[in-house]
Amino acid sequence: MTQPASRPPATVKPPFWRDPAKRALIFQLLMLAGVFGVLAIIVSNTLTNLESRGITTGFAFLDNTAGFGILQSLIDYSEQSTYGDTFIVGLLNTLLISALGVIAATVIGFVMGVARLSPNWLISRLAAVYIEVFRNIPLLLQIFFWYFAVLRTLPSPRGSLSLGEAFFLNVRGLFVPAPITSSGFSVVIAVFVLAVVASGIFSYWNRQRQARTGQRLPAGWISLGLIIVAPLLAYFAMGMPLSWELPELKGFNFRGGITVVPEFLALWVALSVYTAAFIAEIVRSGIEAVPHGQTEASRALSLSGGMTLRLVVVPQALRVIIPPLTSQYLNLIKNSSLATAIGYPDLVSVFAGTTLNQTGQAIEVIAMTMLVYLTISLLVSMFMNWFNARMALVER
């Protein structure tokens, strides 16, 4: 009997370059060092070159007085504010147009998406025309259209279109009454907040009750009533502590009230209408992705039409809708930088435009601007991914 030649392998460790795990680690480290090395070279090279050409660098300019005016500002801004303030003003204007754009685009998009699927021939055709027209014209042209072709043809301040002597529309923008709150209005707000909290608790209780007993109250209507009626009662109880400041024609233009500049209107309408056309198609695809059998099964369980939509179709459609919807939101936010074409004072127009030019610090300003867009987009992505995870199919 001969022993088989096989013996337990010698416990000699192979040299580290033969060990795949260690080798991989080494290459990873080398790669990392390479990337950082290149970055360091680029940064130091840029700094050296800027210095040799006598171009000032650094972020000290942010504390200097800006000395120029900005059309629209959400914070208290004057010509004596700093360049750092112009950054904040631009950022807030970008966030404002993005947020309002996302809201409007979502509403229009959902309505159009559902209308596109309507059994009514006229409605579905109209929705289709809307989608095909606005989806297929470049956004910049649409912005120009709303700004130059629509809003520029409005009358001058003296010939304003007015609605009840409170709302005025002219080539300088839309003028609406501004609410003026007096003492006691904070009570109304407090009551409103309380009503919102109370209706939240009520719906929770209602759900628990339904799970326990199968009975449910019309929570939606009750909450809505609570949220509207309670603050109204408080409002009258406090002696109506709210008045309106009407815009008034004084000198060259209207003063008082709230001014919505035409640059904002044009950009808002263009961004919303353009993005909504894409969202409508996404909504349509989402709804069509839910098999018809689901609706039939739901009907077989004797759920009403509304409940079928709310409990069966929409939750499943959302799974298809959310990921591409996120992309549309991100597009809208980034597209808002086209503001600079019509002079709406967003981040690109104010900070990466005027501030960059007055200070000449191109690298710092552009880096900050890019970082802002990256941060906003990543935050929106993060939120939408979280929302998507919540909506995703939970396998049981």
Partner 1 sequence: MHNNKKPLLIASAAVLAASMATGASAATLDSVKEKGFVQCGVSTGLPGFSAPDDAGNWQGLDVDVCRGVAAAVLGDASKVRYVPLTAKERFTALQSGEIDVLSRNTTWTATRDTSLGLNFAGVNYYDGQGFMVSKDLGVASAKELDGAAVCIQSGTTTELNLADYFRLNDMSFEPVVFDTSDQTVKGFEAGRCDVLTSDQSQLYALRIKLSDPASAMVLPEVISKEPLGPVVRQGDDQWFNIVKWTLFAQINAEEMGLSSDNIEEKKSDTNPNVARLVGADGNYGEAMGLPADWAYQVIKQVGNYGQMFERNVGTGSALGIERGLNALWTDGGVQYAPPVR
Q: Is 3 left (phi over 0), alpha (psi -120 to 50) or beta?
A: beta
Nearer to partner 1, 176 or 356 (CB): 356
Strands 161-163 and 167-170, how do they pair? Answer: antiparallel
Nearer to partner 1, 72 or 326 (CB): 72
Sign for the pseudo-dihedral over CA of 41, 43, 45, 48: negative
Q: Sheet containing 258-260: give its strands across.
A: 161-163, 167-170, 173-176, 258-260
Cβ-proximal residues to 389 (8 Å cutoff; 6+ apart), any chain: none
What is the nearest approach in angstroms of partner 1 to the Cβ of residue 186? 30
Nearer to partner 1, 327 or 357 (CB): 357
Amino acid sitting at position 299: R
Nearer to partner 1, 45 or 385 (CB): 45
What is the nearest approach in angstroms of partner 1 to the Cβ of residue 265? 12
What is the nearest approach in angstroms of partner 1 to the Cβ of residue 77? 11
Chain residues binding partner 1 by CB under 8 A are 27, 30-31, 34, 37-38, 41-42, 45-46, 48-50, 52-56, 67-71, 78-80, 148, 152-153, 156, 171-172, 250-253, 255, 262-263, 340-341, 343, 345, 349, 353-354, 356-360, 362
Nearer to partner 1, 162 or 359 (CB): 359
What is the nearest approach in angstroms of partner 1 to the Cβ of residue 322? 34
What is the nearest approach in angstroms of partner 1 to the Cβ of residue 9? 28
Tell me how far apart the alpha carbons of residues 385 and 379 are, in angstroms, rounded to a whole number.
10
Nearer to partner 1, 125 or 255 (CB): 255
Tell me how far apart the alpha carbons of residues 286 and 317 are, in angstroms, rounded to a whole number.
5
Location of structure tokens 């260690």? 22
Nearer to partner 1, 305 or 360 (CB): 360
What is the nearest approach in angstroms of partner 1 to the Cβ of residue 150? 12
Tell me how far apart the alpha carbons of residues 90 and 204 are, in angstroms, rounded to a whole number.
41
What is the nearest approach in angstroms of partner 1 to the Cβ of residue 301? 55
Three-state secondary-structure class, residue 57: coil
Strands 258-260 and 253-255, how do they pair? Answer: unpaired
Sign for the pseudo-dihedral over CA of 71, 77, 80, 86: negative
